[in-house]
Chains A and B, each alone.
With several copies, the nearest count.
Chain A
């Protein structure tokens, strides 16, 4: 199941949804807010989502993972709103009989979540300015260059 969360993500509750007596392994990815991006010191982030479509697309990603890989359960929660350094922005978990499929499915999900869901991230920098990640234009950037995300 895919969910958007307006408050802190409860990783323990997420993890419990992966339990299955046939499962031999779980792989979990947690994305957390870093204190820098592209060399600039970051104070906090705002995530904004087009929620109805983000949920629909997130559910589609999880369904695809369950079809492509030999896994039992797949769960994802993405947070929206204002986040501080160290806060968890996204939690992805997969359980499977064997670990290879769990690793592959977890990575498939987080890659797709990052590239396909209508969710945006505004970084607030230590120098006082802010910017929407991946959305810089010549006009918005001015002299300083900090566009593009390498993740």
Chain B
């Protein structure tokens, strides 16, 4: 197993409240965005399942299957409610 990749995760809205933080730098062995969310969900007890979220990597909407790469900035997007 390779060494963990260092990434930055930002949290908004309900995820921010559940994580108790707005962002963090962390090292992860998760291979995909999907795996990373499950890892963090285990750590913080997020109520929302992955099917209800989207993921933004480096300010672009992306796929759950996208590989986690060193230096990524990642945001999990809860169901939105603008307007």
- Taking Cβ atoms with an 8 Å cutoff, the residues of A that contact B are 31, 47-50, 52-54, 56, 78, 89-90, 110, 113-122, 132-135, 137-140, 149, 151
Contacts and interface: CB of A to CB of B under 8 A. Distances in A.
Contacts, number: 77
Interface stretch (B1-9, B29-37, B71-79): B71-79
Contact of B80 (A89, A116, A138, A140): A116
Given A120-B78, A137-B48, A139-B47, A50 B12 contact: yes
Contact of B83 (A53, A110, A140): A110
Given A53-B56, A120-B14, A137-B48, A113 B83 contact: yes
Chain A contact residues: over half helix, strand or loop, or mixed? mixed
A117 B47 contact: no
Interface of B: 10, 12-14, 16, 47-48, 56, 59, 75, 77-83
A147 to B, nearest CB: 10
B80 A118 contact: yes
Contacts of A135: 13-14, 47-48, 78-79, 81
Contacts of A151: 83
Contact of B13 (A52, A53, A110, A132): A132
A114 B83 CA distance: 5
Contact of A31 (B10, B48, B59, B83): B83
A117 B82 CA distance: 7
